[in-house]
């Protein structure tokens, strides 16, 4: 059984291990390597996907929105182990594309991990985790509209990455940053669509 993830670099390393042995890496393979009780790392995974060059794939925002909603709703109802349908678990990406995204994210991940530490923990424990789940529902519902405004999905990805990291390292400051990032992205979308 895998040890719980402690930071972003460990998540990237664990996903990178999958690219060594497989030409295609499915979400099911990633979930198995991360652990099916790991809501934080899964939010980080979605955030990384949307923040990386993979976000340029048409329809990625809509697909990831369904993933976010499934995870967030299960967090809200208090499930200890999450469930995902096979159509999500069977989705995969080529090894080369995934490795390119992982390489692109490696250096920033090391810098981010050095800055993280437990603080404002009331924002990530007990009631705070329900607040994070509720925010994820809002982000998931807004993501299909982000297909209309360039780069707004990357902002949502950054917000989800921050929320996932907050759950993993118990850093409530990241929750506040995620709210600010998503608020700015939401405002940007409203201004550009009206």
Domain count, the chain: 1
Domain assignment of residue 1, yes or no: no
CA atoms within 13 A on the CB side of 92: 13
Place of tokens 């990178």: 16
| pLDDT confidence bin for 37, thresholds 50/70/90 | low
Give the sign of the dihedral formed by CA 39, CA 141, CA 9, CA 28: positive
pLDDT in tens, 136-166: 999 889 888 777 777 777 888 899 989 988 8
Domain assignment of residue 3, yes or no: no
Residue 178 has a pLDDT of 93
* Domain interval for residue 186: 8-193
pTM: 0.76
């Amino acid at each position: 059984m895998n040890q719980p993830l402690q930071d972003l670099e460990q998540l990237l390393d664990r996903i990178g291990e999958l690219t060594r042995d497989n030409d295609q890496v499915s979400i099911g393979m990633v979930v198995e390597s991360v652990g099916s009780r790991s809501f934080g790392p899964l939010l980080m995974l979605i955030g990384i996907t949307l923040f990386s060059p993979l976000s340029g794939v048409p329809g990625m925002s809509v697909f990831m929105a369904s993933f976010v909603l499934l995870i967030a709703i299960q967090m809200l109802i208090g499930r200890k182990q999450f469930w995902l349908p096979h159509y999500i678990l069977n989705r995969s990406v080529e090894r080369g594309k995934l490795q390119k995204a992982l390489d692109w994210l490696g250096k920033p991940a090391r810098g981010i991990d050095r800055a993280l530490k437990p603080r404002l923990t009331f924002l990530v424990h007990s009631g705070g985790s329900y607040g994070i789940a509720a925010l994820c529902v809002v982000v998931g519902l807004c993501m299909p509209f982000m297909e209309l405004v360039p780069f707004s999905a990357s902002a949502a990805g950054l917000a989800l990455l921050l929320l996932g990291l907050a759950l993993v390292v118990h850093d409530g400051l990241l929750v506040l940053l995620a709210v600010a990032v998503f608020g700015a992205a939401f405002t940007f979308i409203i201004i550009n669509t009206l």
